[in-house]
A and B are shown apart, each in its own frame.
Chain A
Amino acid sequence: MSPPLELDYIGLSPPAAAAAAAGADDDLKGTELRLGLPGSGSPERRVAAATATTLDLLPAKGAKRGFSDEAPPPSPVAAAGKGKKVAEEADNDKKVAATPQPAAKAQVVGWPPIRSYRKNTMATTQLKGSKEDAEAKQGQGFLYVKVSMDGAPYLRKIDLKTYKNYKDLSTALEKMFNGFSTGKDGLSEYRKDGEYVLTYEDKDGDWMLVGDVPWEMFADSCRRLRIMKGSDAIGLAPRAADKSKNRN
């Protein structure tokens, strides 16, 4: 993606003074106790996704997650995100000029030129949402989610965008796996085994019964699917619970 030129630029802080000062201070800064990379002292830190070879940084979706800002409360949480930490601005003698970093982990103070307010606000928003959610909504033409079935030796992946409604989804899953049930009507013919219940994990991390909400809403909030054993689904799917009671 980017030639060394870019790395050279980013690794080099243009004014010699800042570079010299940083060079002399690197040793000392390295021993400071801070919540950040050695030498990173400015409240404004953005890790450059300089090249695709930087292991710490995934392409766009990963990089989105990793930043935080001097937003007071959530910074520790966000700072524990991706590879690069953001130092809290607790210190008075914070260094404001960009200090040269090892090439792939370069940082530039104040670039891109975005107001702190905007960065803080967006950080709060993205902490609330879920990582996969943002990934899913990046205008991609697909929405792959994992499908697991209890007892199956491996998982599958399906593209939710290829289905328009629950029936299509159910038919497809039926083909992939055998014998399961959901809470929505129209699929009751598949419920005769009574053995399995189709559930999904939504973006809040909760496990939900498939079929309660409109399809679009389901597709937007579904992160993964699990075909659950009926006996495990007590309390989740009334019919499944009844069945397991009956069996008992």
Chain B
Amino acid sequence: MTYFPEEVVEHIFSFLPSHSDRNTVSLVCKVWYEVERLSRRAVFVGNCYAVRPERVVLRFPNVKALTVKGKPHFADFNLVPPDWGGYAGPWIEAAARSCVGLEELRMKRMVVSDENLELLARSFPRFKVLVLISCEGFSTDGLAAIASHCKLLRELDLQENDVEDRGPRWLSFFPDSCTSLVSLNFACIKGEVNSGALERLVARSPNLRSLRLNRSVSVDTLSKILVRTPNLEDLGTGNLTDEFQAESYARLTSALEKCKMLRSLSGFWDASPICVPYIYPLCHQLTGLNLSYTPTLDYSDLTKMVSRCVKLQRLWVLDCISDKGLQVVASSCKDLQELRVFPSDFYVAGASAVTEEGLVAISSGCPKLSSLLYFCHQMTNEALITVAKNCPNFIRFRLCILEPKKPDAMTGQPLDEGFGAIVRECKGLRRLSMSGLLTDKVFMYIGKYAKYLEMLSIAFAGDSDKGMMDVMNGCKNLRKLEIRDSPFGDVALLGNVAKYETMRSLWMSSCNVTLKGCQVLASKMPMLNVEIMNELDGSSEMEENHADLSKVDKLYVSEMEENHTDLSKVDKLYVYRTTAGARDDAPNFVKIL
């Protein structure tokens, strides 16, 4: 292999599609390692604490696109205390020092400050793409910095971030010379934007293909914008209220009709049902539709719209669509690949108009379905077995029965057989979230059949350690395991410690693992960070004594601990492989063993 000049090897590498392939070739020999690292353009860091930022930028000095993910997934549901970590600063600072050619940055579940954004804006003259998903810690001032300094900005994509609103002026910071925008998504910005500035920005962005507005944008502004963007492919509307001005909506319809390339629609917010018919002319060309933030539309509004969307591939909707509405989807949207049905009632045992019947209907009408997120009132084994047979192509299957531990609604049995059928039939399943009453049996099925499973989410399930162990031993491709409120303890935690080196992370909260078990794990596996978070009340004594020891990355054992509370249950446990050692930015409620 060393017979080839390096340029040829590099060229061959450029055909490798995935990060893992490139990681693999870099292990072959030193020459390949060097060629690969210098030619690597995109780096993906799935856990920001798995590796030090300095190491990444030193190894890949020519990286153009960096993706970093921070907090564990359960942070989405407030299970990770605030100030846990996941700071963007070190990454941006390291890149600013060593990779000034950086063009793209994508971050998820990280804490980003305005100072970070300012540094980002000033450090990378060719910066083009910023994508922030579920991040927090910044304000519209940070966006102003990006707008004013990133002269070549192509994409500013803000998805579901918690952004402090400091006024509408940020949008005006895009200079007149900025004409390169392809994608702009500010749907999560809570406040007003200056509509004149927005219209002018759109007018000088001939390449704009994706535009997602926030709810402050009026119908009139939207119409004016759409006249300028006949090539728009993806639109997130502003608010479509029923301050009914017939001419406004007529203008909107005629502007929309000119957008022949428009394929994806979202936004709507508290859209009035009156406004929905004005969207009808678009429906036949839509492949993506997100109505999941619009509780003001009921079953009949939704079905009238969806029944026209015959090319739909991706649908996000609220459960007020009801089972009947899902039947309409099933008969109209034969190309459906991804369905997400969200609850409109967030209570633990809240009501939902959606049950197993809707899911069965979808499965029989939409055989291409491969990705599902389904919040519902109840489920049955029979339904799941039917769904598994109808749709063997599931890659992502996430089912959330609103009431925890709810059994089969018909038979009262656990839902082991139903989920067992899913993992057995859907041989390509990569992600699974389960709910309802589940025993160890379902985990036996998962360990046995779910060979390609990469991510598993468990809540209120299982009877004993055996359940977790079946998963750890059977799922060869498991990367992320997250468990809450399930009776798995130290035996399961320690049953296959080598496995953790092959995984990105393990999360366990409100389970039965003890401090001692975690200590044993930490001592056996020095390449893991074993993070413990306890309620401050319960462990304040420990915190006081060991506060200064959080920097220690080896096993920490003290007389104090051995005497006291080794067998105390650990509230939250987060284990992840790392080459970085214990992190030095952990707050005092996090103990790293």
Contact = CB atoms under 8 A, between A and B. Distances in A.
Interface stretch (B52-60, B279-287, B342-350): B342-350
Contact of A220 (B76, B272, B295): B272
A118 interface: yes
A113 B324 CA distance: 25
Interface in A97-126: 97-98, 106-119, 121-122, 125-126
B538 A112 contact: no
Interface in B402-440: 402-406, 433
Interface stretch (B77-85, B147-155, B254-262, B467-475): B77-85
B402 A112 contact: yes
Range for the number of chain A residues in contact with chain B: 35 or more
Given A14-B510, A115-B160, A139-B300, A2 B403 contact: yes
Contact of B78 (A10, A20, A21, A44): A44
Nearest to A9: B405
Contacts of B333: none
B277 to A, nearest CB: 10
A213 B484 contact: no
A220 B404 contact: no
A48 B348 contact: yes
Interface of A: 2, 5-6, 9-10, 13-18, 20-21, 25, 42-44, 46-50, 57, 59-60, 63-64, 67, 89, 93-98, 106-119, 121-122, 125-126, 128-129, 133-134, 137-139, 213, 216-217, 220-221
B233 to A, nearest CB: 24
Interface in B219-245: 242, 244
Nearest to B81: A96
Contacts of B486: 14
B71 to A, nearest CB: 12
Contacts of A67: 346-347
A133 B272 CA distance: 10
A18 B510 contact: yes
A111 B160 contact: no
A134 B353 CA distance: 14
A241 B537 CA distance: 69
Interface string B20-31: 000000000000
A220 B274 contact: yes
A119 B346 contact: yes
Given A113-B77, A122-B295, A139-B322, A107 B535 contact: no
Contact of A117 (B81, B162, B511): B162
Interface in B291-316: 292-301
Given A2-B349, A113-B76, A134 B296 contact: yes
A119 B299 CA distance: 21
Contacts of A49: 347-351
B538 A21 contact: yes
Contacts of B292: 118
Interface of B: 74, 76-79, 81-82, 134, 160-162, 188, 242, 244, 269-270, 272-274, 292-301, 320, 322, 324-325, 342-351, 353, 375, 400, 402-406, 433, 457, 459-460, 484-487, 509-512, 533-538, 568-572
Given A114-B342, A139-B300, A109 B347 contact: no
Nearest to B344: A64
A85 to B, nearest CB: 15
A121 B294 CA distance: 10
B571 A18 contact: yes
A25 B242 contact: no
B459 A95 contact: no
Contacts of A137: 273, 296-298, 301, 320
Contacts of B79: 96, 109-110
Which of A46, A89, A93, A97 counts the most B-chain CB atoms under 10 A from its CB? Answer: A97
Contact of B569 (A15, A116, A121, A134): A15
Contacts of B509: 97
B346 A46 contact: yes
Given A112-B400, A117-B160, A17 B345 contact: no
Contacts of B402: 112
Contacts of A42: 78
Main secondary structure on chain B at its contact with chain A? loop
Contacts of B351: 49, 59-60, 63
A15 B512 contact: yes
B77 A95 contact: no
Contacts of B242: 217, 220-221
Which of A59, A116, A122, A137 counts the most B-chain CB atoms under 10 A from its CB? Answer: A122
A186 B128 CA distance: 62
Contacts of B403: 2, 6
Contacts of B134: 115, 117
Contacts of B78: 42-44, 96, 109-110, 116
A109 B78 CA distance: 7
B488 to A, nearest CB: 11
Contacts of B188: 117
Contacts of B347: 46-49, 57, 63, 67
A43 B78 CA distance: 8
A93 B486 CA distance: 25
Contacts of B348: 10, 46-50, 106-108, 111-112
3 closest A-B pairs (Cβ-Cβ)?
A139-B299, A60-B351, A110-B77
A95 B348 CA distance: 19
A18 B535 contact: yes
A182 to B, nearest CB: 19
Contacts of A18: 510, 535, 538, 569, 571
A198 to B, nearest CB: 20
A25 B535 CA distance: 11
A44 B570 CA distance: 20
A73 to B, nearest CB: 9
A6 B349 contact: yes
Which of A13, A16, A44, A115 counts the most B-chain CB atoms under 10 A from its CB? Answer: A115
A89 to B, nearest CB: 8
B373 to A, nearest CB: 10
Given A48-B347, A93-B536, A125-B295, A15 B274 contact: no
Contacts of A46: 346-348
28 contacts: A9-B404, A10-B404, A17-B569, A18-B535, A20-B538, A21-B535, A43-B78, A47-B347, A63-B351, A67-B347, A93-B536, A94-B81, A94-B82, A108-B348, A112-B348, A112-B350, A113-B76, A114-B342, A115-B76, A115-B134, A116-B162, A122-B293, A137-B298, A138-B320, A139-B299, A139-B300, A220-B242, A220-B274
